[in-house]
Structure 1
């Protein structure tokens, strides 16, 4: 390019306006760039990498105990899904029927992602994702932007630009996560495996296939044992007493005898407890094969929304100066559904609960309580939570109701599936898992201290439990969505 520039005077535009619609300088545009075939080949590899990353994030979410990683896997899985969808559309525009988007582009590249999928612990998984695969994908996208034609291939350049913005955020998150979770000793212990990952990627010709490709496959390491999804939700040590059912937040929230501000406090609890919804939805996505891609993309969007709702509860408590770690965050909803129902039955329960949130006594009511409470943060959260749930109902109609025939059939089936789910409240006590203590008084007392008010004795003594409402000890609907 330097030789080319030396032979010609700089390109002059009318009155000094940027040339080519501001896309690039003329000097950049005079080099030929990649062919359509070369472009499609690389884009298909990016698509494959993002699709595999999406699956790893979603499939490892449920059994990941660390709260912050559950949230990041929810978020980053959604972002990967969005970019998969964009790349599918772009490849379809580039003279490429049949698209071949479900094909594996290289055997060693498949092994590379199998190895990360099968990482045996959190530290190696985080290293594989954020220390290896995501930086490699980001660098491949940068190379693509440098080498393709900025005008002829402008739609692909735009997709890569947007993907890079979010991948670089993932890399930055990963650097902090690795610094926190993986010390020098752990890095040394996993060095042979990391060397194997690098060997696999090199044998694949790099993530984008621009380097020489090996004829043989690299020997597997962790993935010698095929990955098996773990449906049992795990929580880290900050989640105290997760089997606790000592308080029924729904009964309190919908009792209009209590002040709105106090009910909003219980609503923050409901929001943070929604962590169990991504744990359950991940199991549905992972264990429901052979669906159109849009199914996985939309379901992952909903999964991310539910993770955001949990974050809303965490933020709400932080705004009041209340440590959520003192409160038992029950996880038996996801535990019981994941272990007692089939994937389609779990989806049915999710839709059934969502439909219960659509009437005026559902999400609108929660927004009204939040608005009446005088807490603008809660009002904002419930406003967007309500909007999210309307979207989720539409997602359910597209991907669940269509399997059931009619809306009434779908709701009836979800109701039947929900009645099958049993929580053994007495058994939890007998096995020493919980005492179902009433944690509400201490939370309410601490909130009153923050508000500068005295606790109301009647509110203080609230002690409606799930167990007291159901003689057969089955869990009543928690409306986790």
Structure 2
């Protein structure tokens, strides 16, 4: 007797569970590598706008990567293996892209190569994947496509602005780098449904490492110490307008924390693994929001970039040191200053400064999270090195010594410079406050 079968005429049966896991694993590996690269380049990017926008992008990428990773584990249950395998050439190429010859080349490699290719890969996948069987993937990849599109548009907007100011040689070098990168990506089959082919060819013989002297946008005033009270005990922290200014400048100068959090993400990514990368990406993003808070308040009060000091002393205090001290430095300052935030919130409420009050309130919430990050991951790296995981206080103490060492190196000229900058800011702010009061 002939066995009968019902026809299978729907296209949605194309990818089985394991096939899907292989493809999504490839996407995870790409997102993971790009998060690490974006973090590592933060201190080396001078463009302020991009330095503030990139953290949000890498946090979004980390969120997408986390969803991809979890979905792969669901589809491969009970296996928890996530090997690189046939995607090695692709991962190697992304890591080689970190060796971009200048900041513009790196940023353009994101907006013109990797982010567009990933966006298209996600689109192609969703056109073929089953919305029923693989419904969870559809939800987060549809979001990822929208985020990638927004990221590309944002980066390109700022790239076009900076192209007008950039040296022609740097522009030519960047364009050539992007062209070579795209050619290499095409040679190994791009990022898509199919496995990579061949091996990645070296783009550069240099080994990338994050810069320990942070790059600054020349629209701002480059300084080591961004307010006189850091180096001059006789200069008061201030009340009223002075407190509002001091708080905003402090927020703006959390740019060091953006760069430092990116630095440690890059340095400890392999040692501490994905959970650390995921937390650190959020840490970077939060610090960029704090920096932007200060910038937006200062702009609202009428300040231009060329009146605002951007300091480097905390970031540079770890120059040449074990990266564990950079992790400790973030932990040190988060735990040191967190208790002052509620007091500032109350003060700003008394001034009827709702924006400063709002920003400090959210800052406090973020820093409670960051304190737990610092304790968790500093303990983890100490344990991994065979040391007492509870011995992080020694790291914090050394961070204190490192910062004091830089402060003690201040010159008379630096004190005069930052005092002059600050007095001009205070004078302008008081004039603005008086004019505002006269209107109401």
Partner residue, 1:452 = 434
Partner residue, 1:264 = 244
Residues 268 and 191 of structure 1, relative CA distance in 2, 3 Å threshold: closer
Partner residue, 1:306 = 287
Partner residue, 1:240 = 221
Shift of 1:110: 2.9
**1:57–1:73 contact (8 Å) kept in structure 2:** yes
Q: 1:153 aligns with which of 126, 134, 138?
A: 134
Q: What is the distance in 2 between the residues matched to 1:118 and 1:340?
A: 20
Shift of 1:224: 2.8
Q: What is the distance in 2 between the residues matched to 1:436 and 1:249?
A: 13
Structure 2 residue matching 1:290: 3-state secondary structure: helix
Residues 241 and 107 of structure 1, relative CA distance in 2, 3 Å threshold: closer
Q: How does 1:213-232 map to 2 (within 5 A)?
A: 213-214=196-197, 216-217=198-199, 219-221=201-203, 223-232=204-213
Structure 2 residue matching 1:237: 3-state secondary structure: coil
**2:90–2:200 contact (8 Å) kept in structure 1:** no
Please say if 1:280 is aligned against 2:260: yes
User: 5+ unaligned residues in a row in structure 2: which ranges?
Assistant: 1-8
Please say if 1:317 is aligned against 2:298: yes
Partner residue, 2:82 = 101
Shift of 1:444: 1.2
**2:18–2:76 contact (8 Å) kept in structure 1:** no
After superposition, the C-alpha distances for 1:256-299 in whole angstroms (9 at most, x for unaligned) are 9x543431121101110110111222222222232131111112
Partner residue, 2:347 = 369
Please say if 1:140 is aligned against 2:118: no
**1:332–1:423 contact (8 Å) kept in structure 2:** no
Structure 1 residue matching 2:30: 3-state secondary structure: helix
Q: What is the distance in 1 between the residues matched to 2:294 and 2:320?
A: 28
Shift of 1:173: 0.9
Q: 1:203 aligns with which of 178, 187, 190?
A: 187
Partner residue, 1:463 = none
Between 323-332 and 157-166, the greater mean CA deviation after superposition: 323-332
Shift of 1:187: 6.5
Partner residue, 2:396 = 414
Shift of 1:255: 6.6
Aligned length: 420
Q: What is the distance in 2 between the residues matched to 1:182 and 1:273?
A: 26
Q: What is the distance in 1 between the residues matched to 2:179 and 2:333?
A: 47
Shift of 1:140: 0.3
Instruction: Tell me the TM-score normalised to structure 2 length.
Output: 0.85
Please give the root-mean-square deviation of Cα atoms over the aligned residues, in Å: 3.2
Please say if 1:441 is aligned against 2:419: no
Q: How does 1:22-421 map to 2 (within 5 A)?
A: 31-95=12-76, 98-103=79-84, 105-182=86-163, 192-210=176-194, 213-214=196-197, 216-217=198-199, 219-221=201-203, 223-244=204-225, 247-248=228-229, 258-288=238-268, 289-337=270-318, 339-359=319-339, 362-401=340-379, 403=382, 409-421=391-403
Between 305-314 and 102-111, the greater mean CA deviation after superposition: 102-111
Structure 1 residue matching 2:314: 3-state secondary structure: helix
Residues 187 and 285 of structure 1, relative CA distance in 2, 3 Å threshold: closer
Between 66-75 and 241-250, the greater mean CA deviation after superposition: 241-250
Q: What is the distance in 2 between the residues matched to 1:44 and 1:165?
A: 20
Shift of 1:246: 5.7
Q: What is the distance in 1 between the residues matched to 2:266 and 2:173?
A: 30
After superposition, the C-alpha distances for 1:132-187 in whole angstroms (9 at most, x for unaligned) are 11000000001111110001100111121121121111111122133223479877
Between 94-103 and 284-293, the greater mean CA deviation after superposition: 94-103
Q: What is the distance in 1 between the residues matched to 2:296 and 2:290?
A: 10
Structure 1 residue matching 2:13: 3-state secondary structure: coil
Structure 2 residue matching 1:61: 3-state secondary structure: helix
Residues 118 and 102 of structure 1, relative CA distance in 2, 3 Å threshold: farther
**2:112–2:178 contact (8 Å) kept in structure 1:** no
Structure 2 residue matching 1:224: 3-state secondary structure: coil
**2:48–2:216 contact (8 Å) kept in structure 1:** yes
Structure 2 residue matching 1:374: 3-state secondary structure: coil
Residues 185 and 232 of structure 1, relative CA distance in 2, 3 Å threshold: closer
Q: What is the distance in 1 between the residues matched to 2:48 and 2:59?
A: 17
Instruction: Tell me the TM-score normalised to structure 1 length.
Output: 0.78
**2:49–2:158 contact (8 Å) kept in structure 1:** no
